Structure 1
Amino acid sequence: MNRHRARTPRAKALLAGAFAALTAALAIGATQLSPASTEVHNVANEESAAQQNGQWLTGYWHNFDNGSTVMPLSAIPSEYNLVAVAFADNHPSLDGGITFNLAGGELGGYTDAQFRADIAAIQAEGRKVIISVGGELGNVIVSNPTQARNFADTTYALMRDYGFDGVDIDLEHGINAQYLTDALRDLHGQAGDDLIIAMAPQTIDFQAPSMGYYQLASNISDILTIVNMQYYNSGTMMGCDQKVYAQGTPDFVAALACIQLEMGLEPSQVGLGLPAVPSAAGGGYMAPSQIVRALDCLEAGTNCGSFSPDTPYGPIGGVMTWSINWDATNGYAFANTVSDRLASGPGGGVPTDPPTEQPTEQPTPDPGDCTAPAWKSGDVYTGGNVVSHNGSEWRAQWWTRGEEPGTTGEWGVWRLVAAC
């Protein structure tokens, strides 16, 4: 995730000999500990999550001002049924522990009392709020038994204090799978089965079974809620079919999600993490309609490109975005589009097959009068709808919402009809 400004993309990996050396260097042994028999305190709200077909739409909320926008939790659209508060801070005295400090000054005077009340209001709607640990700049080290215990105890203390429903692991500077496993099992023992455990690894973190996040997901698969891979700031990576894919495409997302789906996780534990707008990441942005294509490919085997799963996986865990604040800068086009798709299931009005060939030339626009209705970012358009925008008329090729005509590229949803 990006704490203040977008990171530059990670170096592109072709996964040859250099990667083998990297995986060897980062390999961490994994062990599992059974949770101790303790009294369970149910922190989570009693109501079930208001999910679209049982799927999560996860969004990160900024506890800082990075130039996107700031907002109270109360402004978050209901489409987001899992809100990750970004981010926790290192505990001042307990090594490996975490705390939380509301940045009220950066957030226009947002008070602690308002923050707590907003958490309760979100949960009263059946949605969930979790505390995220890490981000681009944050780093909590859990690499020994004391740090593991402190992490579990302080996280549970925050859950009791603020009412958080769980924790999101977004540690981007390397993890120790063994002791983070111990910490999360300890936390589960304290919080009970309603505990939400999410994680947001980077794509390289699942490129081999020796990687820490791969081991952590395997170790806690029985208590893990969802893995929302960050399919951005990545460069190229290898898919489950041993082919290399470039970020920013449905093939990249589907082929890499396949790794988690084939490693033993349940489909419901696999989520797709994408930036809400191009400014939210250094690379890897995909228009929401392209995220829909990746979902269709994984869940139903339709809308696939060069990668297609041998057998469709059915509904997966959902979709995550960095971030709600960035989505707000675009009229919540990400939330609106993806939430509608999660609610409707595969299909959603987008083409079932990708283009078979590229056009040899762009159509020459014919001047005329703009008679079509003006494009509106909040309206839904389906294939064949024509709108006017910036002195031209545009025809939608498939279902879309929030994607501005003239910005989606040659193979995007909008095709130029005529200048006017």
Structure 2
Amino acid sequence: SPVTGATGYKVYRDGTLAATVGGTSATVTGLAADTAYQFQVAAANTAGESAKSAAVTARTGKATDPGPGPAVPKHALTGYWQNFDNGATVQKLRDVQAQYDIIAVSFADSTATPGQIVFNLDPAVGYASVADFKADIAAKKAAGKSVIISVGGEKGNVTINSDASATAFANSAYALMQEYGFNGVDIDLEHGINSTYLVKALRQLSAKAGPSMVLTMAPQTIDMQSTGTEYFKTALAVKDILTVVNMQYYNSGSMLGCDGKVYSQGSVDFLTALACIQLKGGLDPSQVGLGVPASTRGAGSGYVSPQIVKNALDCLTRGTGCGTFKPDRTWPGLRGAMTWSTNWDATAGNAWSNAVGPHVHALP
């Protein structure tokens, strides 16, 4: 609290005068990263200054602390970026098409410690150094894009089924955010999840990373058939910190729509009737996205043309372009669409992002 009779305050850093201010707040610059400093304050007036306050220790952030990331736009395009070469066009992050608002780096790797993740930059991508990769993340974020680390895939399956593994996940994921500048995580676990402990892990991570953390999920169709599945329970339990669920409408058998009818891959109805389950099951429209392959080679099955994706987006947000399934209402706030992958998109001449990206960004 202000000291009566004081005309200003002197701020000392490690015993040395660092700033003199007239008010009750001060900004001290020129500090090194990841360094502890001691601060003391003395009240001053024309007669002199008071004894210094008790010392307060503060540590500056690491040089790569991500800080708040850019805000995700109202309608967003998500793309997975491949940290490996599987025959698709090899990209550096700087090459990722400008239409993508959220770039999910695929994938983190698991370790022998349950719940713990690490990231290993694949030499096949062609970076001269890890520093170059980090610089590309920073540049994408400066351009307003979110760059997040995806957890899952074949090699990165992580088991979070205890308090210890939940904490290990949160600590290691936050460490990757600090080291690389990722501003969130994507949950792409395909071997079953435990909602109780995954929710604990995500809550702990959110508490560390702050409110700007981007949290996405990419469940399979079977995972989102009802609110009783572990994935759907997880999504609802973290609804206050969840950015978007981009369900994978591919490599799937036939599924039930929200009208109880059976729909199969390849149609606009498959996209709209299954999204309807999430929209009516408690997720906010801004938390629902349509995940599809970028090319016929991007998935074993389920590729649909960009026109079908655009029709499904219009059906859900505007009530136009529907197939036989016509929802009884519209959800103009629908978040957008996702694709696997930015690399397969590039292989196909960017046909997917060139068509779907502008359409997503022009949604109501």
Q: Normalization by structure 2: what TM-score? A: 0.80
Is the contact made by 1:56 and 1:81 (CA closer than 8 Å) also made in structure 2? yes
CA distance in 2, matches of 1:234, 1:78: 29
After superposition, the C-alpha distances for 1:191-218 in whole angstroms (9 at most, x for unaligned) are: 1110111000000001123211011011
Amino acid across the alignment from 2:125: L
Cα distance, 1:55 vs structure 2: 1.2
Q: Which of 190, 197, 218 is residue 208 of structure 2 equivalent to?
A: 190
Is it true that 1:63 corresponds to 2:83 in the alignment?
Answer: yes
Match in the other structure for 1:206? 224
CA distance in 1, matches of 2:69, 2:312: 33
| Correspondences of 1:242-253 after superposition (within 5 Å) | 242-253=260-271
After superposition, the C-alpha distances for 1:382-416 in whole angstroms (9 at most, x for unaligned) are: xxxxxxxxxxxxxxxxxxxxxxxxxxxxxxxxxxx
Cα distance, 1:91 vs structure 2: 2.8
After superposition, the C-alpha distances for 1:234-280 in whole angstroms (9 at most, x for unaligned) are: 02000111000011111000000001100111100000000000111
Match in the other structure for 1:118? 136
CA distance in 2, matches of 1:182, 1:343: 33
Match in the other structure for 2:15? none
Match in the other structure for 2:66? 43
CA 1:46–1:324 in 2, change beyond 3 Å: closer, same or farther? Answer: closer
Match in the other structure for 1:168? 186
Match in the other structure for 2:8? none
Cα distance, 1:292 vs structure 2: 0.2
Is it true that 1:315 corresponds to 2:333 in the alignment?
Answer: yes
1:151 counterpart SS class: helix
Match in the other structure for 2:115? 96
Match in the other structure for 1:332? 350
Is it true that 1:72 corresponds to 2:92 in the alignment?
Answer: yes
Q: Which of 99, 107, 110 is residue 87 of structure 1 equivalent to?
A: 107
CA distance in 1, matches of 2:253, 2:69: 42
| Correspondences of 1:213-292 after superposition (within 5 Å) | 213-292=231-310
1:222 counterpart SS class: helix
Q: Which has the higher contact order (CA 8 A, sep 6+)?
A: 1
Match in the other structure for 1:130? 148
Is the contact made by 1:62 and 1:325 (CA closer than 8 Å) also made in structure 2? yes
After superposition, the C-alpha distances for 1:42-83 in whole angstroms (9 at most, x for unaligned) are: 83445434x3xx211000001001011211101011111100
After superposition, the C-alpha distances for 1:98-145 in whole angstroms (9 at most, x for unaligned) are: 0000012x1234421110000000001111100000014431000011
In angstroms, what is the RMSD of aligned CA positions? Answer: 1.6
CA distance in 2, matches of 1:286, 1:149: 39
Is the contact made by 2:107 and 2:150 (CA closer than 8 Å) also made in structure 1? yes
CA distance in 2, matches of 1:45, 1:182: 22
CA 1:44–1:316 in 2, change beyond 3 Å: closer, same or farther? Answer: farther
Amino acid across the alignment from 1:98: I
Aligned residues: 302
CA 1:120–1:85 in 2, change beyond 3 Å: closer, same or farther? Answer: same
Match in the other structure for 1:365? none
Match in the other structure for 1:26? none
Match in the other structure for 1:22? none
CA distance in 2, matches of 1:343, 1:185: 30
Is the contact made by 1:45 and 1:124 (CA closer than 8 Å) also made in structure 2? no
Is the contact made by 1:204 and 1:237 (CA closer than 8 Å) also made in structure 2? yes
CA distance in 2, matches of 1:292, 1:306: 16
Is the contact made by 1:44 and 1:164 (CA closer than 8 Å) also made in structure 2? no
Is the contact made by 1:169 and 1:198 (CA closer than 8 Å) also made in structure 2? yes
CA distance in 1, matches of 2:157, 2:71: 32
CA distance in 2, matches of 1:329, 1:191: 35
CA distance in 1, matches of 2:190, 2:129: 29
Cα distance, 1:315 vs structure 2: 2.8
CA 1:296–1:112 in 2, change beyond 3 Å: closer, same or farther? Answer: same
1:315 counterpart SS class: coil
Q: Which runs of 4+ in 1 moved over 4 A?
A: 44-47
Match in the other structure for 2:313? 295
Match in the other structure for 1:32? none
Amino acid across the alignment from 1:258: C
2:255 counterpart SS class: strand
Is the contact made by 2:127 and 2:133 (CA closer than 8 Å) also made in structure 1? no
Match in the other structure for 1:180? 198
Amino acid across the alignment from 1:230: Q
Give 1 or 2: higher strand fraction. 2
CA distance in 1, matches of 2:313, 2:88: 27
Bigger-Rg structure (1/2): 2
Cα distance, 1:226 vs structure 2: 0.4
